[in-house]
Amino acid sequence: MADTDTLGESLRRLGVTRRGFLKFCAATASMMALPPGAAAAMAAALEKARRPSVIWLSFQECTGCTESLTRSDAPSLEGLIFNAISLDYHHTLQAAAGSAAEAAREQAMKESWGKYLLVVDGSIPLANPGYSTIAGISNVEMLKETAQGAAAIVAVGTCAAFGGLPKARPNPTGAVSVSDLITDKPIINVSGCPPIGAVITGVLAQYLTFGQLPDLDAYRRPRAFYGQSIHDRCYRRPFYDKGLFAESFDDEGAKKGWCLYRLGCKGPMTYNACATLRWNQGTSWPVEAGHPCLGCSEPSFWDAGGFYKALSVPTAEVARTAGYALAAGVAIGGVAGMVGQSIKTTAATGHQKVTVDELEA
Amino acid sequence: MEFLLWVRGPAFNLALTVFVLGMTVRLLEIFLLGRRPNYAEPRGPEFGPGMKTVLNRFAVDPGVFSRAPFNVVVGYLWHIGFLACLFLFIPHIELAHGTFGLSWPGLPNPLVDALAAVTLVSLVAVLIHRNRHPVMRYLTTREDTLVWIATFLPVLTGYLAYHRAINPYPVALGLHILSVELLMVLFPFTQLTHAFTVFIARWYNGAAFGRKGVQS
Protein backbone atom coordinates (compact mmCIF):
# COMPACT_ATOMS: atom_id res chain seq x y z
CA MET A 1 0.00 0.00 0.00
CA ALA A 2 1.06 3.60 -0.45
CA ASP A 3 3.44 4.55 2.27
CA THR A 4 3.21 7.77 4.20
CA ASP A 5 7.01 7.87 4.70
CA THR A 6 9.08 9.98 2.40
CA LEU A 7 11.51 8.15 0.18
CA GLY A 8 14.43 9.68 2.07
CA GLU A 9 13.12 8.37 5.36
CA SER A 10 12.48 4.90 4.04
CA LEU A 11 15.90 4.74 2.40
CA ARG A 12 17.66 5.77 5.61
CA ARG A 13 15.67 3.17 7.48
CA LEU A 14 16.90 0.60 5.02
CA GLY A 15 20.49 1.68 5.70
CA VAL A 16 21.12 3.35 2.33
CA THR A 17 23.92 5.88 2.69
CA ARG A 18 23.68 9.44 1.48
CA ARG A 19 26.60 8.73 -0.86
CA GLY A 20 24.88 5.68 -2.40
CA PHE A 21 21.67 7.67 -2.83
CA LEU A 22 23.48 10.51 -4.62
CA LYS A 23 25.28 8.02 -6.87
CA PHE A 24 21.94 6.54 -7.89
CA CYS A 25 20.57 10.02 -8.64
CA ALA A 26 23.63 10.95 -10.70
CA ALA A 27 23.46 7.69 -12.68
CA THR A 28 19.74 8.10 -13.40
CA ALA A 29 20.08 11.76 -14.37
CA SER A 30 22.99 10.94 -16.64
CA MET A 31 21.15 8.02 -18.25
CA MET A 32 18.29 10.31 -19.14
CA ALA A 33 20.62 12.96 -20.52
CA LEU A 34 19.55 15.49 -17.91
CA PRO A 35 21.93 18.37 -17.13
CA PRO A 36 24.44 17.79 -14.28
CA GLY A 37 22.45 20.02 -11.91
CA ALA A 38 19.48 17.68 -12.29
CA ALA A 39 21.16 15.04 -10.14
CA ALA A 40 21.03 17.35 -7.12
CA ALA A 41 17.45 18.33 -7.95
CA MET A 42 16.57 14.68 -8.30
CA ALA A 43 18.17 13.88 -4.94
CA ALA A 44 16.26 16.70 -3.26
CA ALA A 45 12.98 15.70 -4.91
CA LEU A 46 13.35 11.99 -4.22
CA GLU A 47 14.35 12.71 -0.64
CA LYS A 48 10.98 14.33 0.00
CA ALA A 49 8.89 12.17 -2.33
CA ARG A 50 6.08 10.12 -0.91
CA ARG A 51 6.11 6.57 -2.14
CA PRO A 52 3.37 6.57 -4.75
CA SER A 53 1.19 3.60 -5.41
CA VAL A 54 1.72 1.82 -8.70
CA ILE A 55 -0.82 -0.51 -10.28
CA TRP A 56 0.45 -2.68 -13.11
CA LEU A 57 -2.09 -4.20 -15.50
CA SER A 58 -1.11 -6.92 -17.96
CA PHE A 59 -3.43 -7.48 -20.91
CA GLN A 60 -2.75 -9.20 -24.25
CA GLU A 61 0.98 -9.61 -23.79
CA CYS A 62 3.69 -12.21 -23.51
CA THR A 63 5.20 -11.12 -20.16
CA GLY A 64 8.33 -10.11 -22.06
CA CYS A 65 8.02 -6.57 -20.73
CA THR A 66 7.92 -7.81 -17.12
CA GLU A 67 10.83 -10.12 -17.92
CA SER A 68 12.73 -7.14 -19.26
CA LEU A 69 11.95 -5.07 -16.17
CA THR A 70 12.97 -7.76 -13.73
CA ARG A 71 16.33 -7.88 -15.48
CA SER A 72 16.87 -4.14 -15.33
CA ASP A 73 19.98 -3.20 -13.44
CA ALA A 74 19.79 0.45 -12.59
CA PRO A 75 17.78 1.16 -10.58
CA SER A 76 16.99 -2.44 -9.68
CA LEU A 77 13.46 -3.74 -9.60
CA GLU A 78 13.83 -4.44 -5.93
CA GLY A 79 14.98 -0.91 -5.42
CA LEU A 80 11.97 0.36 -7.26
CA ILE A 81 9.46 -1.81 -5.46
CA PHE A 82 10.81 -1.38 -1.98
CA ASN A 83 12.51 1.96 -2.02
CA ALA A 84 10.79 4.15 -4.52
CA ILE A 85 7.42 2.82 -5.50
CA SER A 86 4.74 0.77 -3.91
CA LEU A 87 3.84 -1.83 -6.50
CA ASP A 88 0.39 -2.69 -5.23
CA TYR A 89 -0.85 -4.84 -8.06
CA HIS A 90 1.04 -6.86 -10.66
CA HIS A 91 -0.60 -10.19 -11.18
CA THR A 92 2.50 -11.83 -12.61
CA LEU A 93 4.74 -10.85 -9.73
CA GLN A 94 2.38 -10.83 -6.78
CA ALA A 95 1.69 -13.88 -4.64
CA ALA A 96 -2.04 -13.22 -4.32
CA ALA A 97 -4.44 -14.46 -6.97
CA GLY A 98 -8.10 -14.30 -7.88
CA SER A 99 -10.39 -12.22 -5.69
CA ALA A 100 -7.62 -11.46 -3.18
CA ALA A 101 -5.55 -9.89 -5.93
CA GLU A 102 -8.48 -7.89 -7.23
CA ALA A 103 -9.23 -6.71 -3.71
CA ALA A 104 -5.64 -5.43 -3.47
CA ARG A 105 -6.14 -3.47 -6.68
CA GLU A 106 -9.41 -2.00 -5.54
CA GLN A 107 -7.96 -1.06 -2.17
CA ALA A 108 -4.93 0.61 -3.77
CA MET A 109 -7.21 2.54 -6.09
CA LYS A 110 -9.40 3.67 -3.23
CA GLU A 111 -6.52 4.73 -1.00
CA SER A 112 -4.62 6.62 -3.66
CA TRP A 113 -7.46 7.80 -5.88
CA GLY A 114 -6.18 10.42 -8.28
CA LYS A 115 -2.56 9.86 -7.27
CA TYR A 116 -1.49 6.38 -8.31
CA LEU A 117 0.54 5.58 -11.37
CA LEU A 118 -1.00 3.07 -13.76
CA VAL A 119 1.40 0.91 -15.73
CA VAL A 120 -0.08 -1.14 -18.58
CA ASP A 121 1.53 -3.79 -20.72
CA GLY A 122 -0.29 -5.60 -23.49
CA SER A 123 -2.93 -4.49 -25.96
CA ILE A 124 -6.66 -4.47 -25.35
CA PRO A 125 -8.97 -6.66 -27.48
CA LEU A 126 -12.18 -5.01 -28.62
CA ALA A 127 -13.47 -7.57 -31.16
CA ASN A 128 -14.67 -9.71 -28.26
CA PRO A 129 -13.93 -8.59 -24.70
CA GLY A 130 -13.92 -12.25 -23.69
CA TYR A 131 -10.65 -12.82 -25.55
CA SER A 132 -8.72 -11.58 -22.53
CA THR A 133 -10.08 -11.30 -19.02
CA ILE A 134 -8.68 -11.12 -15.49
CA ALA A 135 -10.87 -12.50 -12.73
CA GLY A 136 -13.76 -12.37 -15.16
CA ILE A 137 -13.24 -8.67 -15.87
CA SER A 138 -12.52 -7.78 -19.49
CA ASN A 139 -9.35 -5.85 -20.26
CA VAL A 140 -11.19 -2.86 -21.62
CA GLU A 141 -13.42 -2.65 -18.54
CA MET A 142 -10.49 -2.99 -16.14
CA LEU A 143 -8.42 -0.40 -17.99
CA LYS A 144 -11.21 2.18 -18.07
CA GLU A 145 -12.05 1.60 -14.42
CA THR A 146 -8.46 1.76 -13.21
CA ALA A 147 -7.50 4.66 -15.46
CA GLN A 148 -10.18 6.85 -13.90
CA GLY A 149 -8.26 7.35 -10.69
CA ALA A 150 -4.74 7.34 -12.15
CA ALA A 151 -2.50 10.38 -12.05
CA ALA A 152 -0.77 9.19 -15.21
CA ILE A 153 -0.50 6.06 -17.33
CA VAL A 154 2.71 4.45 -18.52
CA ALA A 155 2.08 2.16 -21.51
CA VAL A 156 4.98 -0.27 -21.34
CA GLY A 157 5.87 -2.19 -24.46
CA THR A 158 4.77 -1.79 -28.07
CA CYS A 159 1.50 -3.72 -27.47
CA ALA A 160 0.27 -1.23 -24.87
CA ALA A 161 1.78 1.75 -26.68
CA PHE A 162 0.73 0.99 -30.27
CA GLY A 163 -1.17 -2.32 -30.33
CA GLY A 164 1.97 -4.29 -31.17
CA LEU A 165 1.96 -7.90 -32.32
CA PRO A 166 -1.73 -8.57 -31.45
CA LYS A 167 -2.66 -5.66 -33.73
CA ALA A 168 -0.65 -7.08 -36.67
CA ARG A 169 -2.74 -7.74 -39.76
CA PRO A 170 -5.41 -9.13 -39.78
CA ASN A 171 -5.74 -8.15 -36.10
CA PRO A 172 -8.06 -11.05 -35.15
CA THR A 173 -8.77 -9.77 -31.64
CA GLY A 174 -9.41 -6.16 -32.68
CA ALA A 175 -6.45 -5.14 -30.51
CA VAL A 176 -5.95 -1.46 -29.69
CA SER A 177 -3.44 0.54 -27.68
CA VAL A 178 -4.01 2.30 -24.36
CA SER A 179 -4.06 5.71 -26.03
CA ASP A 180 -6.78 4.50 -28.41
CA LEU A 181 -9.09 4.07 -25.41
CA ILE A 182 -7.95 6.59 -22.82
CA THR A 183 -7.85 10.19 -23.92
CA ASP A 184 -8.30 12.17 -20.72
CA LYS A 185 -5.15 11.11 -18.83
CA PRO A 186 -1.46 11.84 -19.36
CA ILE A 187 0.05 8.82 -21.15
CA ILE A 188 3.73 7.98 -21.54
CA ASN A 189 4.51 5.33 -24.16
CA VAL A 190 7.58 3.24 -23.39
CA SER A 191 7.61 1.21 -26.59
CA GLY A 192 9.81 -1.72 -27.52
CA CYS A 193 9.29 -5.44 -27.80
CA PRO A 194 10.23 -5.48 -25.02
CA PRO A 195 11.50 -2.05 -23.94
CA ILE A 196 14.94 -1.96 -22.36
CA GLY A 197 14.55 -2.54 -18.62
CA ALA A 198 16.58 0.54 -17.78
CA VAL A 199 14.24 2.60 -19.95
CA ILE A 200 11.15 1.36 -18.09
CA THR A 201 12.66 2.05 -14.68
CA GLY A 202 14.30 5.27 -15.83
CA VAL A 203 10.93 6.65 -16.89
CA LEU A 204 9.35 5.58 -13.60
CA ALA A 205 12.22 7.14 -11.66
CA GLN A 206 11.93 10.39 -13.55
CA TYR A 207 8.20 10.54 -12.94
CA LEU A 208 8.75 9.94 -9.24
CA THR A 209 11.45 12.59 -9.11
CA PHE A 210 9.76 15.41 -10.92
CA GLY A 211 6.13 14.33 -10.56
CA GLN A 212 5.46 15.22 -14.16
CA LEU A 213 5.73 13.70 -17.59
CA PRO A 214 9.12 13.74 -19.25
CA ASP A 215 9.56 15.55 -22.56
CA LEU A 216 7.73 13.38 -25.10
CA ASP A 217 7.98 12.93 -28.87
CA ALA A 218 5.08 12.74 -31.35
CA TYR A 219 4.37 9.17 -30.23
CA ARG A 220 4.41 10.23 -26.56
CA ARG A 221 7.73 8.49 -26.00
CA PRO A 222 10.27 10.09 -23.67
CA ARG A 223 12.76 11.97 -25.82
CA ALA A 224 15.56 11.10 -23.42
CA PHE A 225 15.40 7.50 -24.66
CA TYR A 226 13.63 7.77 -28.01
CA GLY A 227 15.12 11.02 -29.25
CA GLN A 228 17.63 9.47 -31.62
CA SER A 229 17.43 6.66 -34.11
CA ILE A 230 19.27 3.37 -33.82
CA HIS A 231 21.04 4.20 -37.10
CA ASP A 232 22.35 7.54 -35.84
CA ARG A 233 23.84 5.98 -32.70
CA CYS A 234 24.88 2.67 -34.24
CA TYR A 235 28.53 1.73 -33.89
CA ARG A 236 28.27 0.14 -37.37
CA ARG A 237 27.18 3.45 -38.89
CA PRO A 238 30.64 4.26 -40.35
CA PHE A 239 30.32 1.13 -42.49
CA TYR A 240 26.99 2.37 -43.87
CA ASP A 241 28.58 5.71 -44.67
CA LYS A 242 31.42 3.94 -46.46
CA GLY A 243 29.01 1.65 -48.28
CA LEU A 244 30.33 -1.54 -46.67
CA PHE A 245 27.51 -4.02 -46.11
CA ALA A 246 27.14 -7.61 -44.95
CA GLU A 247 25.20 -9.47 -47.63
CA SER A 248 24.56 -12.65 -45.69
CA PHE A 249 24.86 -13.69 -42.07
CA ASP A 250 28.11 -15.54 -42.61
CA ASP A 251 29.98 -13.67 -45.31
CA GLU A 252 33.19 -11.69 -44.90
CA GLY A 253 31.23 -8.49 -44.31
CA ALA A 254 29.28 -10.08 -41.46
CA LYS A 255 32.48 -11.36 -39.90
CA LYS A 256 34.04 -7.92 -40.15
CA GLY A 257 31.00 -6.33 -38.51
CA TRP A 258 29.84 -4.29 -41.49
CA CYS A 259 26.46 -2.58 -41.76
CA LEU A 260 23.38 -4.85 -41.70
CA TYR A 261 21.16 -2.65 -43.92
CA ARG A 262 21.01 -5.19 -46.74
CA LEU A 263 20.00 -7.90 -44.28
CA GLY A 264 16.90 -5.92 -43.37
CA CYS A 265 18.08 -3.61 -40.56
CA LYS A 266 15.30 -1.16 -39.66
CA GLY A 267 17.68 0.97 -37.60
CA PRO A 268 17.31 4.04 -39.83
CA MET A 269 13.59 4.38 -39.02
CA THR A 270 13.69 3.14 -35.42
CA TYR A 271 13.91 5.46 -32.44
CA ASN A 272 15.16 3.73 -29.30
CA ALA A 273 18.09 3.64 -26.90
CA CYS A 274 19.42 0.11 -27.64
CA ALA A 275 22.58 1.43 -29.29
CA THR A 276 23.51 3.53 -26.26
CA LEU A 277 22.07 1.72 -23.21
CA ARG A 278 22.34 -1.80 -24.66
CA TRP A 279 20.87 -4.89 -23.03
CA ASN A 280 21.63 -7.23 -20.15
CA GLN A 281 23.54 -4.83 -17.95
CA GLY A 282 24.98 -3.08 -20.99
CA THR A 283 26.47 -6.31 -22.35
CA SER A 284 25.30 -6.14 -25.95
CA TRP A 285 22.36 -5.43 -28.23
CA PRO A 286 20.89 -7.06 -31.36
CA VAL A 287 23.03 -5.26 -33.94
CA GLU A 288 26.18 -5.91 -31.92
CA ALA A 289 25.18 -9.57 -31.82
CA GLY A 290 25.03 -9.53 -35.64
CA HIS A 291 21.28 -9.31 -36.15
CA PRO A 292 19.48 -6.45 -37.90
CA CYS A 293 17.20 -4.17 -35.87
CA LEU A 294 13.55 -5.21 -36.26
CA GLY A 295 12.21 -1.73 -35.50
CA CYS A 296 10.25 -3.05 -32.51
CA SER A 297 9.73 0.32 -30.83
CA GLU A 298 7.86 1.74 -33.83
CA PRO A 299 4.11 1.49 -34.49
CA SER A 300 3.06 -1.33 -36.86
CA PHE A 301 6.60 -2.72 -36.92
CA TRP A 302 5.20 -6.18 -37.48
CA ASP A 303 3.57 -5.10 -40.74
CA ALA A 304 6.43 -2.88 -41.92
CA GLY A 305 7.81 -5.37 -44.45
CA GLY A 306 9.88 -8.52 -43.98
CA PHE A 307 12.36 -8.45 -41.11
CA TYR A 308 15.07 -9.62 -43.49
CA LYS A 309 14.15 -7.30 -46.36
CA ALA A 310 15.90 -3.94 -46.60
CA LEU A 311 13.99 -0.85 -45.55
CA SER A 312 13.95 0.34 -49.17
CA VAL A 313 11.92 -2.68 -50.32
CA PRO A 314 8.24 -1.70 -50.62
CA THR A 315 5.71 -3.61 -48.57
CA ALA A 316 3.50 -3.65 -51.65
CA GLU A 317 3.31 -6.88 -53.66
CA VAL A 318 5.50 -5.37 -56.36
CA ALA A 319 5.91 -8.40 -58.64
CA ARG A 320 2.19 -9.29 -58.52
CA THR A 321 1.05 -5.70 -59.07
CA ALA A 322 3.51 -5.27 -61.95
CA GLY A 323 2.26 -8.55 -63.47
CA TYR A 324 -1.39 -7.54 -63.32
CA ALA A 325 -0.63 -4.04 -64.62
CA LEU A 326 1.40 -5.53 -67.47
CA ALA A 327 -1.42 -7.91 -68.42
CA ALA A 328 -3.99 -5.10 -68.31
CA GLY A 329 -1.59 -2.88 -70.27
CA VAL A 330 -1.19 -5.54 -72.98
CA ALA A 331 -4.98 -5.90 -73.26
CA ILE A 332 -5.69 -2.17 -73.36
CA GLY A 333 -2.63 -1.44 -75.52
CA GLY A 334 -3.70 -4.21 -77.93
CA VAL A 335 -7.15 -2.69 -78.29
CA ALA A 336 -5.66 0.81 -78.65
CA GLY A 337 -3.26 -0.52 -81.29
CA MET A 338 -6.11 -2.13 -83.24
CA VAL A 339 -8.14 1.07 -83.05
CA GLY A 340 -5.08 2.94 -84.37
CA GLN A 341 -4.71 0.43 -87.18
CA SER A 342 -8.36 0.74 -88.08
CA ILE A 343 -8.15 4.54 -88.16
CA LYS A 344 -5.12 4.22 -90.43
CA THR A 345 -6.89 1.76 -92.75
CA THR A 346 -10.05 3.86 -92.89
CA ALA A 347 -7.97 6.90 -93.70
CA ALA A 348 -6.11 5.01 -96.44
CA THR A 349 -9.27 3.57 -98.04
CA GLY A 350 -11.17 6.81 -97.71
CA HIS A 351 -8.36 8.77 -99.27
CA GLN A 352 -9.60 10.49 -102.38
CA LYS A 353 -6.98 10.97 -105.04
CA VAL A 354 -6.99 14.24 -106.88
CA THR A 355 -5.21 14.70 -110.18
CA VAL A 356 -3.41 17.85 -111.25
CA ASP A 357 -5.97 18.35 -114.00
CA GLU A 358 -8.79 18.23 -111.48
CA LEU A 359 -7.05 20.80 -109.34
CA GLU A 360 -6.49 23.09 -112.26
CA ALA A 361 -10.03 22.71 -113.50
CA MET B 1 5.34 5.82 -39.53
CA GLU B 2 1.80 5.36 -40.87
CA PHE B 3 2.75 7.71 -43.69
CA LEU B 4 5.83 5.61 -44.49
CA LEU B 5 3.79 2.40 -44.45
CA TRP B 6 1.24 3.99 -46.76
CA VAL B 7 3.81 5.13 -49.34
CA ARG B 8 5.61 1.78 -49.19
CA GLY B 9 2.33 -0.14 -49.52
CA PRO B 10 -0.90 1.06 -51.14
CA ALA B 11 0.57 4.21 -52.71
CA PHE B 12 3.43 2.24 -54.25
CA ASN B 13 0.96 -0.30 -55.66
CA LEU B 14 -1.05 2.50 -57.22
CA ALA B 15 1.96 4.31 -58.70
CA LEU B 16 3.40 1.06 -60.02
CA THR B 17 0.09 0.13 -61.65
CA VAL B 18 -0.19 3.51 -63.39
CA PHE B 19 3.44 3.34 -64.50
CA VAL B 20 3.46 -0.22 -65.85
CA LEU B 21 -0.02 -0.11 -67.35
CA GLY B 22 0.49 3.34 -68.87
CA MET B 23 3.88 2.58 -70.36
CA THR B 24 2.74 -0.79 -71.76
CA VAL B 25 -0.24 0.85 -73.47
CA ARG B 26 1.87 3.65 -74.90
CA LEU B 27 4.60 1.37 -76.20
CA LEU B 28 2.15 -1.15 -77.65
CA GLU B 29 0.31 1.66 -79.40
CA ILE B 30 3.57 2.72 -81.03
CA PHE B 31 4.58 -0.80 -82.02
CA LEU B 32 1.17 -1.91 -83.26
CA LEU B 33 0.69 1.15 -85.41
CA GLY B 34 3.72 -0.04 -87.36
CA ARG B 35 5.55 1.75 -90.13
CA ARG B 36 4.52 2.60 -93.64
CA PRO B 37 5.44 -0.34 -95.90
CA ASN B 38 8.58 0.32 -97.87
CA TYR B 39 8.39 -1.33 -101.29
CA ALA B 40 11.90 -0.41 -102.34
CA GLU B 41 14.37 -3.28 -102.44
CA PRO B 42 16.50 -3.20 -99.24
CA ARG B 43 20.22 -2.51 -99.76
CA GLY B 44 21.20 -3.73 -96.33
CA PRO B 45 19.96 -5.20 -93.08
CA GLU B 46 17.86 -3.22 -90.58
CA PHE B 47 18.45 -4.78 -87.18
CA GLY B 48 22.23 -4.37 -86.85
CA PRO B 49 22.43 -0.76 -88.03
CA GLY B 50 19.40 0.03 -85.86
CA MET B 51 21.13 -1.30 -82.74
CA LYS B 52 24.36 0.46 -83.71
CA THR B 53 22.53 3.77 -83.93
CA VAL B 54 20.96 3.19 -80.52
CA LEU B 55 24.51 3.19 -79.18
CA ASN B 56 26.36 5.68 -81.33
CA ARG B 57 23.81 8.44 -80.78
CA PHE B 58 25.17 8.59 -77.24
CA ALA B 59 28.19 10.30 -78.78
CA VAL B 60 27.77 14.03 -78.95
CA ASP B 61 27.29 15.54 -82.37
CA PRO B 62 30.06 18.14 -82.86
CA GLY B 63 27.66 20.58 -84.48
CA VAL B 64 25.21 20.42 -81.59
CA PHE B 65 28.05 20.75 -79.11
CA SER B 66 29.44 23.87 -80.73
CA ARG B 67 26.00 25.48 -80.83
CA ALA B 68 24.84 24.52 -77.33
CA PRO B 69 27.75 23.33 -75.18
CA PHE B 70 25.93 24.06 -71.89
CA ASN B 71 22.93 21.88 -72.82
CA VAL B 72 25.17 19.01 -73.86
CA VAL B 73 27.57 19.05 -70.89
CA VAL B 74 25.06 19.76 -68.14
CA GLY B 75 22.47 17.53 -69.78
CA TYR B 76 24.88 14.62 -69.75
CA LEU B 77 26.02 15.44 -66.23
CA TRP B 78 22.62 15.29 -64.59
CA HIS B 79 21.38 12.33 -66.66
CA ILE B 80 24.40 10.28 -65.63
CA GLY B 81 24.13 11.46 -62.03
CA PHE B 82 20.42 10.71 -61.90
CA LEU B 83 20.77 7.23 -63.38
CA ALA B 84 23.74 6.40 -61.16
CA CYS B 85 21.78 7.43 -58.05
CA LEU B 86 18.78 5.45 -59.27
CA PHE B 87 20.51 2.23 -60.24
CA LEU B 88 23.78 2.13 -58.32
CA PHE B 89 22.76 3.20 -54.78
CA ILE B 90 22.78 0.08 -52.60
CA PRO B 91 19.30 0.59 -51.04
CA HIS B 92 17.86 0.96 -54.55
CA ILE B 93 19.56 -2.24 -55.70
CA GLU B 94 18.09 -3.91 -52.61
CA LEU B 95 14.65 -2.86 -53.84
CA ALA B 96 15.19 -4.77 -57.10
CA HIS B 97 16.75 -7.66 -55.17
CA GLY B 98 13.92 -7.82 -52.65
CA THR B 99 11.16 -7.68 -55.25
CA PHE B 100 12.46 -9.36 -58.41
CA GLY B 101 15.53 -11.16 -57.10
CA LEU B 102 17.81 -9.16 -59.42
CA SER B 103 21.03 -7.77 -58.06
CA TRP B 104 24.09 -5.99 -59.40
CA PRO B 105 27.12 -4.27 -57.88
CA GLY B 106 26.57 -0.77 -56.51
CA LEU B 107 28.71 2.29 -55.90
CA PRO B 108 30.02 3.28 -52.46
CA ASN B 109 27.57 5.59 -50.68
CA PRO B 110 29.89 8.65 -50.60
CA LEU B 111 30.27 8.46 -54.38
CA VAL B 112 26.49 8.28 -54.91
CA ASP B 113 26.17 11.14 -52.44
CA ALA B 114 28.58 13.27 -54.51
CA LEU B 115 26.78 12.36 -57.74
CA ALA B 116 23.45 13.34 -56.17
CA ALA B 117 24.90 16.72 -55.23
CA VAL B 118 26.22 17.20 -58.79
CA THR B 119 22.82 16.19 -60.16
CA LEU B 120 20.99 18.66 -57.94
CA VAL B 121 23.29 21.53 -58.90
CA SER B 122 23.06 20.59 -62.58
CA LEU B 123 19.26 20.44 -62.48
CA VAL B 124 19.10 23.87 -60.88
CA ALA B 125 21.55 25.18 -63.50
CA VAL B 126 19.37 23.66 -66.24
CA LEU B 127 16.31 25.45 -64.86
CA ILE B 128 18.12 28.79 -64.61
CA HIS B 129 19.49 28.41 -68.12
CA ARG B 130 16.04 27.51 -69.44
CA ASN B 131 14.58 30.63 -67.87
CA ARG B 132 17.35 32.99 -68.95
CA HIS B 133 17.69 31.82 -72.54
CA PRO B 134 15.04 33.76 -74.52
CA VAL B 135 14.33 31.01 -77.05
CA MET B 136 14.20 28.26 -74.47
CA ARG B 137 11.98 30.35 -72.24
CA TYR B 138 9.64 30.90 -75.20
CA LEU B 139 9.54 27.17 -75.91
CA THR B 140 9.02 26.14 -72.30
CA THR B 141 5.59 24.74 -71.53
CA ARG B 142 3.90 23.95 -68.23
CA GLU B 143 4.65 20.29 -68.85
CA ASP B 144 8.37 21.07 -69.00
CA THR B 145 8.20 22.72 -65.60
CA LEU B 146 6.14 19.88 -64.16
CA VAL B 147 8.59 17.30 -65.47
CA TRP B 148 11.53 19.28 -64.06
CA ILE B 149 9.87 19.33 -60.62
CA ALA B 150 9.02 15.62 -60.81
CA THR B 151 12.66 14.86 -61.66
CA PHE B 152 14.20 17.22 -59.14
CA LEU B 153 12.12 16.17 -56.10
CA PRO B 154 13.23 12.52 -55.87
CA VAL B 155 16.89 13.57 -55.97
CA LEU B 156 16.38 16.36 -53.44
CA THR B 157 14.32 14.26 -50.99
CA GLY B 158 16.70 11.33 -51.41
CA TYR B 159 19.65 13.60 -50.65
CA LEU B 160 17.91 15.01 -47.56
CA ALA B 161 16.86 11.54 -46.38
CA TYR B 162 20.40 10.17 -46.83
CA HIS B 163 21.80 13.05 -44.79
CA ARG B 164 18.94 12.65 -42.31
CA ALA B 165 18.22 16.36 -42.64
CA ILE B 166 14.49 15.91 -41.99
CA ASN B 167 13.32 14.52 -38.67
CA PRO B 168 11.91 12.03 -37.96
CA TYR B 169 13.49 9.83 -40.62
CA PRO B 170 10.29 7.91 -41.56
CA VAL B 171 8.89 11.25 -42.78
CA ALA B 172 12.03 11.94 -44.83
CA LEU B 173 12.01 8.48 -46.39
CA GLY B 174 8.25 8.66 -46.93
CA LEU B 175 8.57 11.97 -48.79
CA HIS B 176 11.33 10.51 -50.95
CA ILE B 177 9.24 7.48 -51.91
CA LEU B 178 6.19 9.66 -52.49
CA SER B 179 8.16 11.92 -54.86
CA VAL B 180 9.29 8.85 -56.81
CA GLU B 181 5.68 7.72 -56.97
CA LEU B 182 4.74 11.11 -58.42
CA LEU B 183 7.41 10.62 -61.07
CA MET B 184 6.08 7.13 -61.84
CA VAL B 185 2.50 8.37 -62.18
CA LEU B 186 3.51 11.24 -64.49
CA PHE B 187 5.81 9.03 -66.55
CA PRO B 188 3.39 7.61 -69.15
CA PHE B 189 1.56 10.91 -69.67
CA THR B 190 4.46 13.29 -70.20
CA GLN B 191 7.68 13.64 -72.15
CA LEU B 192 9.26 11.46 -69.47
CA THR B 193 8.36 8.54 -71.76
CA HIS B 194 11.43 9.54 -73.77
CA ALA B 195 13.38 7.31 -71.37
CA PHE B 196 11.91 4.43 -73.38
CA THR B 197 10.96 5.94 -76.72
CA VAL B 198 14.37 7.52 -77.35
CA PHE B 199 15.79 4.07 -78.00
CA ILE B 200 12.89 3.07 -80.24
CA ALA B 201 13.29 6.26 -82.26
CA ARG B 202 17.02 5.71 -82.58
CA TRP B 203 16.51 2.14 -83.70
CA TYR B 204 13.95 3.12 -86.35
CA ASN B 205 16.32 5.81 -87.56
CA GLY B 206 19.28 3.46 -87.77
CA ALA B 207 17.17 0.71 -89.33
CA ALA B 208 15.90 3.09 -92.05
CA PHE B 209 19.46 4.11 -92.90
CA GLY B 210 20.60 0.48 -92.81
CA ARG B 211 17.88 -0.48 -95.26
CA LYS B 212 19.05 2.25 -97.60
CA GLY B 213 22.63 1.05 -97.21
CA VAL B 214 23.93 4.31 -95.84
CA GLN B 215 25.71 5.14 -92.63
CA SER B 216 23.63 6.62 -89.86
Judge: A262–B94 Cβ closer than 8 Å, yes or no. yes
Query: pLDDT at residue A93 above 80?
Result: no
CB proximity A313 to B under 8 Å: yes
- Sign of the Cα pseudo-torsion (B86, B92, B97, B98, in order): negative
Name the residue facing B169 among A269, A310, A313 (closest C-beta). A269
CB proximity A233 to B under 8 Å: no
Give the pLDDT score at B27. Answer: 93
Please tell me whether residue B167 adopts helix, strand or coil conformation: coil
Judge: A299–B1 Cβ closer than 8 Å, yes or no. yes
Residue type, A350: G
Give the pLDDT score at B182. Answer: 97
Mean pLDDT lowest among A289-298, A312-321, B195-204 = A312-321
Does the pTM surpass 0.80? The reply is: yes
Residues A138 and A276: their CA atoms lie apart, in Å, by 38
Measured from the Cβ of residue A316, the count of other Cβ atoms closer than 10 Å reads 22
Residues A193 and A295: their CA atoms lie apart, in Å, by 9
Q: Model confidence at A305, in pLDDT bands (50, 70, 90)?
A: confident
Judge: A314–B95 Cβ closer than 8 Å, yes or no. yes
Q: Which of A37-46, A272-281, B94-103, B186-195: highest mean pLDDT?
A: B186-195
Give the pLDDT score at A74. Answer: 58
Query: pLDDT at residue A2 above 50?
Result: no
Q: CA-nearest residue of chain B to A262?
A: B94
Query: How close is the nearest chain A Cα to the Cα of B205, in Å?
Result: 22
User: For the purposes of burial, counting CB atoms within 10 Å of the CB of B118, is it exposed (0-12), middle (13-18) or buried (19 or more)?
Assistant: middle
Query: pLDDT at residue A152 above 50?
Result: yes
Query: pLDDT at residue A318 above 90?
Result: no
Inter-residue long-range contacts of B63-68, CB under 8 Å, 24+ positions, other chains counted: none
* Residue A121 half-sphere exposure toward CB, CA atoms < 13 A: 24
Stretch A11-28: mean pLDDT: 71
Query: pLDDT at residue A153 above 80?
Result: yes
Residues B178 and A201: their CA atoms lie apart, in Å, by 39
- Sign of the Cα pseudo-torsion (B140, B141, B146, B151, in order): negative
Contact, A297 vs A158, CB < 8 A? yes
Length of chain A: 361
Query: How close is the nearest chain B Cα to the Cα of A167, in Å?
Result: 14
Higher pLDDT, A155 or A11: A155
CB proximity B102 to A under 8 Å: no
Query: How close is the nearest chain A Cα to the Cα of B142, in Å?
Result: 27
Give the pLDDT score at A1. Answer: 40
Query: How close is the nearest chain B Cα to the Cα of A231, in Å?
Result: 10
What digits encode the pLDDT tens for the residues A157-202?
A: 999 999 999 999 999 999 999 999 999 999 999 999 999 887 887 7
* Closest C-alpha to B109, from B66, B67, B163, B146: B163
Length of chain B: 216
Cis peptide before A75 (omega within 30 of 0): yes
Residue type, A104: A
CB proximity B141 to A under 8 Å: no
Query: pLDDT at residue A72 above 80?
Result: no
CA distance readout (Å), A152 to A2, A39, A53, A109, A163: 16, 23, 11, 13, 19
CB proximity A316 to B under 8 Å: yes
Ranges of chain B whose pLDDT falls below 70:
none
* Closest C-alpha to B151, from B102, B192, B196: B192
Question: What ipTM, to 2 d.p.?
Answer: 0.83
Mean pLDDT score of chain A, rounded to an integer? 85
Stretch A243-249: mean pLDDT: 91
Residue type, B167: N
